[in-house]
Chain A
Amino acid sequence: MLTFLQVLTSGIAIGCVYGLVALSFVLIYKATETISFMQGDLLMLGAFTVLALNAGVGLPLWLAIALGLGLMVGLGAGLERSVLRRALGQPHLTAVLLTFGLGLMMRGALTAVPAASHSMHRLGQPADEALRLGGLALAPAHLMVIGATLLVAGALALFFRHTRLGLALRACSEDPRAAALSGVPVAAMHTLAWALGAGLAAFAGLLLAPITFIHLNMGLIALKAFPAAVLGGMSSLSGALAAGVFLGVVEALAGLALPEGAKDMVPYLLLMGALLLFPNGLGSAAGRERAR
């Protein structure tokens, strides 16, 4: 039982990171109908930016995080303004390939920095002692991930429900034409969506840093986050987050209970099953239940 709980908490923590990246996929998709294939690279770039500000420039960690996230939000907005906006009205594939290419450019630029390509890095100090609750040992990094994810999810919920900007962004993703007619600046909302998407990915990268360290391949986690986004229905923010946590937990428990090797198959089997049974995602399936 204890082992079960132990593995469960690790699964939830990793699942939160999947969920956050999935959230960034969905946020962008809802607002702009573009699937961004550079979220993994944004995640990595965000982590490296904060590392550079902290270890390279010598800023204190909190300031480096704030400034780094600000820069990444700015990068997201800047990319939308300069490049991604031009893909509007083009076939879907254009925007997808554009994000893919931008991701490759970010990776390529980073490999040109010797310190980045030649070793792995740790942000701040090595982890402290684990927190003990009875027999349960909780890693501070895992607790931080779970806490920070809850905080971000809460802040996003407030933003979308109770601020004019959030409402405008929602309106824009529900029906851009109607939103434009009611005076919502649709173009500015697109910029906002890309900025938030980049910021969220970078934030996920920071949460991942104490667990897997900062290195060039850390963006590969997006490969797990994308199924979570699809599982959540690509259109539901809460669905994406929940699906991320769900995948993390299932993956961890499968490693414990199922035969050797099953662990890595389970998330994708689940994804296939869910797509067959609920083609619009688990989020919409739950919504339908409620509507009934």
Chain B
Amino acid sequence: MLHSRILLAAAFALLPLAAGAETPGVSHDEITVGSIQDLSGPIAMLGAPVRDGMLMRFEEANASGGVHGRRLRLVVEDAGYDPKRAVLAARKLIQRDRVFAFLSNMGTPVVMASMPMIVEAGRPHLFPFSPHEATYLPLHPLKFQIYAPYQDYMAAATDYMVKTHEYSRTCLLYQDDDYGLEVMKGVEAGLARQGRRLTERTSYKRGATDFSSQIARLRAAGCDLVVLATVVRETVAAMTEARKLGWEVDMLVTASGYSAQTHALGGPAVEGLYGVSVLPHPYAEGATPELAAWVARYRERFGAAPNVWSVMGYTAADLLVQAAQAAGPELTVEGFRVALENLQIRPDIFGGPVYRFSADDHLGNRSGRLAQIRNGRWQLISDYLH
């Protein structure tokens, strides 16, 4: 009898301790953050630099004493763009690693499969690489996003291009899947703002090799602006085909074609291509001293030149660090949410957008800016478009 009473008393005495250590992934000297990446699948070209960008920001934070004395630890799981593996990875990160939050999970199939489980476990789901509305709508206390759907960027970009260049016949070459259709909706919305409609549209299947018939069709329609809902390879192929025929039409590609690979592979043929940029590519030449130093540090740490994906990973990690800092020494999920919603974010060294969250809007940015390939590199030619 006495024994059980002592045990009970001991149990009660331990309760406050358990409550104090309630926030998973947060100990007195460490914050564990999880990320489900694609390091081996079809978009490993994106996953590796995103991971490196996040790692770099966390290492910098740790080198300057951590966040309120806590070191940041990133646990990366490779799901290879596969929703089944994503679910396993999410479970492992929640149960075994007990991560505080998920950062920059990669790919729409991965995100759609794992997000419900993650928010149900009470973990913040931050800035996934999936331009899908479900990542921030309907408003959910744990879901935050900084990448708008393609539709939003493309509506603004098309509107701006048609207004400033007075194009009268806008056409579209699109990939025949969700991505292409989403861009089409955006382009149509942008044209509607100018009281115009698409003159011609033509599609291709993923993995197509030849664009001669599509370009011939668009040329016959007399387009004066061709919007490309393509990825890097198809962008280069379409533009090369047009230039081969001597058709000097203006082309505008989505953020998926805004990559240094576009001009590296396309060479002179893609000169003059317009693109939508969500975050600028970190070129080493002509960089500000801060950016040049950042590029040099990245190169030294990872043995490769950073690209726009590295910047995205770094930026996402930076937002997490800023919000955790603002949440104060007692880090809880609730405190983190409030801090992120009220965060005053300062402009970064990359020229990226100034993100802004609020209690009723968890999408931090809706605008991209226009860029053009001039002298073999992307140059920004407009401010952020709304």
Interface, chain A (partner B; CB < 8 A):
3, 6-7, 10-11, 13-14, 17, 111, 114, 117-120, 122, 125-127, 130, 137, 139, 208, 211-213, 215-217, 220-221, 248, 251-256, 260-261, 263-264
Contacts and interface: CB of A to CB of B under 8 A. Distances in A.
Contact of B237 (A3, A212, A261): A212
A159 B209 CA distance: 31
30 contacts: A3-B216, A3-B219, A3-B220, A6-B216, A10-B212, A10-B213, A13-B210, A14-B210, A111-B40, A111-B44, A114-B48, A117-B44, A119-B45, A120-B232, A120-B233, A122-B265, A126-B269, A130-B245, A130-B246, A139-B240, A211-B209, A212-B209, A213-B236, A220-B207, A221-B209, A248-B210, A254-B213, A255-B214, A256-B213, A264-B205
A253 B244 CA distance: 18
Contacts, number: 94
Given A114-B48, A117-B44, A217-B42, 14 more contacts: A3-B216, A6-B245, A7-B213, A10-B210, A10-B241, A13-B210, A14-B210, A120-B233, A126-B269, A127-B269, A130-B246, A211-B209, A216-B42, A264-B176
B interface: dominant SS: helix
Contacts of B203: 260-261
Interface in B211-235: 212-214, 216-217, 219-220, 232-233
B194 interface: no
Given A119-B261, A126-B266, A126-B269, A215 B233 contact: yes
B382 interface: no
Contact of A252 (B48, B212, B240, B264): B212
A126 B210 contact: no
B267 interface: yes
A263 B209 contact: no
Contacts of A215: 233
A120 B40 contact: no
B351 interface: no
A114 B302 CA distance: 12
B233 A212 contact: yes
Contact of A137 (B44, B217, B237, B244): B244
Nearest to B46: A118
B116 interface: no
Nearest to B214: A255
A122 B264 CA distance: 9
B269 A252 contact: no
Contacts of B269: 126-127
Contacts of A127: 240, 267, 269
Nearest to A248: B210
B45 A253 contact: no
B202 to A, nearest CB: 6
A227 B42 CA distance: 25
B204 to A, nearest CB: 8
Given A211-B209, A212-B209, A261 B176 contact: yes
| 7 tightest Cβ-Cβ pairs between the two chains A and B | A126-B267, A255-B213, A10-B212, A130-B244, A256-B213, A14-B210, A3-B216
B328 interface: no
Contacts of A125: 267
A43 B214 CA distance: 26
A255 B209 contact: no
Interface in B14-69: 40, 42, 44-45, 48-49
Nearest to B201: A260
B268 interface: yes
